[in-house]
Structure 1
Amino acid sequence: MSTPREQSEPRMLVPSLVFVALVVAAVASLGAPLITTVATTFHVSLNSAQWTLTIALLAGALSTPILGRLGAGPHRRVTILGTLAVAVVGSALTVLPLPFAWLLVGRAGQGIGLGLTALMMGVARDHLPEERSAATISLVSVVSIIGVGAGYPLAGLLTEVGGVRAAYGLGLFVTTIAFLAAWRFIPEAPAGRSAHVDTVGALLLAGGLFLVLYLAGERSLWSHDLGVAVVLAVVAAVLLAVWTVTGLRGKAPLIDLKALRHPAVAGANLAMFVGAIGMYILLTLITRYAQTPHSAGYGFGLTTFVAGLVLVPFSVLGFVGGKLTPPMLKRIDAPFLLAGSAVIIVGGFVLFATARSNLVELLLAMSVLGFGVGSFSAAMPGVILAVTPKSETSSAMSFNYITRSVGYSLGSAVGGLVLSAGTDTGRIFPNDSAYTTAALVGIVAMAIATIASLVLARKRSPQGEPAVAPATAHDPSPSRSSQ
């Protein structure tokens, strides 16, 4: 006879997976609406305060491939609980009255949790029926993105009421609940698997990604120390090149790079990379525009809390788009849905570029962005998992989330560079026309994502199956992970 715990697991497994993915995304993004408050509270520059967001993104990008590989082995449950425990401890450090350096350490601990999204997908694929697992994986993918805006309004309100520590207290509360939910409802991985972590590969990838994201986040380095920036860029390229070569030759690489050469996987990752750049450009433009004071000649001068409310349509419509996508995938091939979603996001850019004179127009652009991002995110896993065995779900999706994280960072950097170039000497805020220029850059990025998705669709058969059968691209047997 099944125990009460066993009987409750099927009912609560899906909500737990979705909740964990939502929490880690929301908590990692808490730094965005709090940057100005952190600068004034800790008496640091805005550039230093920006690292409360950047370091979380860095930690997530660096931890994702390692957690993805661990998630392919027998200790996935322990990995999930251990990572959430780190996020809880990190959240506690952000709440305690400690110096600024400890706040950064805490934010890094919170950011590590971003690597759990791919593991949530692996759990769903292993422990749910095929149709239900596909819908759950799409939902996890969606909430991992719309979660970026889910915590903004509440964090802004808590900041205005109780200060920055109260806002970070929200992170401590929800990460603790996520840990308890995972401990109670997430089962062990199926027996017979093993996963070897390529330590050298992990260090090479971590070093290369750190430099890439650091260079993307430190925009002033390119203008004041161009030589240093170029040297660091070369070092990053060398580290990533060495990682690629060793990954292709190794027997148990951190990420199966040979599988990434499959047209479906390569095309999906390219679409995600450039798509993430475009998505984050528009998200950054709208939030900055909304908070720009009227004295700049444009903008709405919104407070942190009200500016956070601007992101509510993004999250709501993103959820709607994500929920509508799985039924559509039964009728439309996933790459075509990716292309259509990218076109919708282009529509959001066009709205922002041509109509932003009142707050309603801004909310409409954010709504269109959210719907497009939700649909794009829900369609993405189907493209990759169609040619990926169950045992490699976490690892395959972890690389996709690395490309997304790097794309987000570059999108933020590109948007900032364009706005900085459009700022007259002696002025704090950029010219209004700079926002239009940045929107045009985002349209180009989403156009590339659309083309990549359409090319991917052409490489698949008329029935929507991959041009190369999954069995020829991967060995689906569990022993593959233990090579």
Structure 2
Amino acid sequence: MTTATHPTPVLVPDEPSVGSRRSTSIVVVLAFAGIVVSLMQSLIIPIVPELPKLIGASASDTTWAITATLLAGAIATPTVGRLGDMFGKRRMLLVSIVLLIAGSVVGALATSLVPLIIGRALQGLAAGVIPLGISIMRDELPPEKLGGATAMMSASLGVGGALGLPAAALIADQLNWHVLFWVAAALGAVALALVLIIVPESPLRTGGRFDIVGALGLSAALAALLLAVSKGADWGWGSGLTIGLFIGAAVVLVLWGWWELRTSSPLVDLRVSSRPALLLTNGASMIFGFALFAMSLVLPQLLQAPAATGYGLGQSMLVVGLVMAPSGLVMMAVAPLSARITRSAGPKVALMLGAVIVAAGYGFNVVFMDATWQLVVASSIIGAGVGLAYGAMPSLVMGAVPRNETAAANSLNTLMRSIGTSVSSAVAGLVLAQMTVSVGTAQIPSQDAFRIVLGIAAAAALVALTIAAFLPRHGTAKNA
């Protein structure tokens, strides 16, 4: 039996350490790239109800335009992180952005379902941009700027989605839906040019060989798991296909873990990942991914539900976007605060404070959901808590791994958030589908269903608080 080894980092000659102005430029460019990528998550939400008519496909088939992005992102994130550690983080960042641009162009030219799914899958392959950006920051920025920069980069995951929704709704309402993808391609091209001009290549390499077996095994397990979670409601949770995918995912994960513990250059070093600080941080990340997405599922439906129900607000998708947008701005605004709390009290405190605020936001929303301004307040409170928590997570991750494994570790952390998001979608969808009221010939979720989902999200935040309580108080990034 062999055990995982950590090859000595190989220093590649690069330009001198950057000055303060160049450091700021790097942070801005990487955060912009992160926001552009996270925009992809909400890009087609405004046109989902219209997709069957727009591309001549059934409603169940058009959901693959969302599922494809989810699956591609989950598969690409850990793989791209490991490749970044081995062959250059900037190089893999550029590859990811090129894939995003290609996917956007394919989507813009699509007139039927298959090309649209291909385009969305290519966009999903760019999901590794945020963990790669955090890792580049660790390698390039002075210690005094690292906390605030990584907090902002981490928060961009939520910012892009929140700000993209109103922009996408406006474009879809006023222009042809293909323009959504052309805009995405243009933003991707800007991000690509800025990275080429501003961001240097990280000088650290892990060396070693790429774990192809591990990458294929993890990809197969994630594909089976996420397909079962995201399509279980359509196929039936008790159907042979859904149960088979869950069992298959479990079996493949066990075999994958056996392989990773025995290969000399694993895709994911399970011995490092099992360290309490990293294990607990990834667990909290998954729970926060669950909690964040619950807001994205409930608030739009509450706002758009007919006023005749007595609790619906009868608003347009554009208003939905405008209500959700402040949460993204709040996430970005609290990122520096998260960094200050991390420096003074440790990332554990920032994470716990974020969990408390998220739970409070959902608790507020359970009680107050009768007016648009109440939903703005609730989403802003939740956004503040998520911003604090997401800002602390990179410090916790980097405090548990050596510098030459930063990209892989941050990618795994991002993957945990994505899994939490997927589970949140499935749980909320199940509750909202089971508890409905009749409005004419349509069935829509009842007010109690919304309250239950919000209550589950609040409970999830408290679970994250409990997990965070067991973390070490201070985390210091390892340098070797």
Q: Which TM-score applies when normalising by structure 1?
A: 0.91
The answer to whether the aligner puts 1:182 opposite 2:202 as a matched pair is no
Matched to 1:380, the amino acid is M
Give the partner amino acid of 1:403: M
List aligned pairs for 1:90-169, cutoff 5 A.
90-169=103-182
Q: Which residue of 1 aligns with 2:33?
A: 20
Unaligned 5+ runs, structure 1:
478-483
Which 5+ residue runs of structure 2 have no aligned equivalent?
1-13
Q: Deviations over 1:417-454 (max 9, x none)?
A: 11111125874201111111111211221111110011
Report the Cα offset of residue 88 of structure 1: 0.5
Are the aligned partners of 1:221 and 1:229 in contact in 2 as well (CA < 8 Å)?
no
Instruction: From 265, 271, 295, give the equivalent of 1:258.
Output: 271
Q: Find the partner of 1:430 among 441, 445, 449.
A: 445
Question: Residue in 2 aligned with 1:288?
Answer: 301
Alignment of 1:70-469 (within 5 A): 70-190=83-203, 193-221=206-234, 223=236, 226-423=239-436, 427-456=442-471, 460=472, 464=474
Give the C-alpha shift of residue 323 in structure 1. Answer: 2.1
Shift of 1:11: 4.9
Question: Which letter maps to 2:464?
Answer: A
Structure 1 stretches of 4+ with a deviation exceeding 6 A read none
Residue 153 of structure 1 contacts residue 309 of structure 1 at CA under 8 Å; is this kept in 2? yes
Percent of pairs identical after alignment? 27
What is the letter of the counterpart of residue 214 of structure 1?
A: L
Equivalent-residue separation in structure 2 for 1:261 and 1:378 (angstroms): 22
Contact 1:75 1:188 in 2 (8 A): yes
Structure 2 CA distance, aligned partners of 1:192 and 1:224? 44
Partners of 1:220 and 1:412 in 2: CA distance:
10
Please point out which of 55, 60, 71 is paired with 1:47. Answer: 60
CA distance in structure 2 between the aligned counterparts of 1:43 and 1:343, rounded to whole angstroms: 46
Is contact 1:67–1:79 with CA below 8 Å preserved after alignment? Answer: yes
Cα separation, 2, equivalents of 1:406 and 1:192: 28
- Greater displacement, 23-32 / 189-198: 189-198
Change (3 A) 1:182 1:137: same
User: What is the SS of the residue equivalent to 1:300?
Assistant: coil
Query: What is the RMSD computed on CA atoms of the aligned residues?
Result: 2.1
Alpha-carbon distance change, 370 to 224 in structure 1, aligned in 2, over 3 angstroms: closer
Aligned partner of 2:45 in structure 1 is 32
**Cα distance, 1:128–1:297 mapped onto 2, change above 3 Å:** same
**Which residue in the other structure is 2:4 paired with?**
none
The one-letter amino acid paired with 1:333 is G
Aligned residues: 462
Q: In terms of mean alpha carbon deviation, does 35-44 or 284-293 score higher?
A: 35-44
User: 2: distance between equivalents of 1:193 and 1:229?
Assistant: 39
TM-score, structure 2 length as denominator? 0.91
**Residue 54 (structure 1) shift:** 2.3
Contact 1:145–1:377 at 8 Å: present in 2 too? Answer: no
Range 26-35 or range 246-255, more displaced: 26-35
Q: Deviations over 1:5-43 (max 9, x none)?
A: x88854521211111111111123313232113233123
Classify the secondary structure of the residue corresponding to 1:236.
Answer: helix
CA distance in 2, matches of 1:391, 1:26: 29
8 A contact 1:290–1:302 mirrored in 2: yes
| Cα 1:290–1:81 shift into 2, 3 Å | same
Counterpart code for 1:386: G
Task: Tell me if the contact between 1:74 and 1:189 (Cα under 8 Å) persists in the aligned partners.
Answer: no
- 1:234 corresponds to which letter in structure 2? I
CA positional deviation for 1:71: 0.9
CA contact 1:313–1:363 (8 Å) conserved in 2: yes
Kindly state the Cα deviation for residue 225 of structure 1 after the two structures are TM-superposed: 5.5
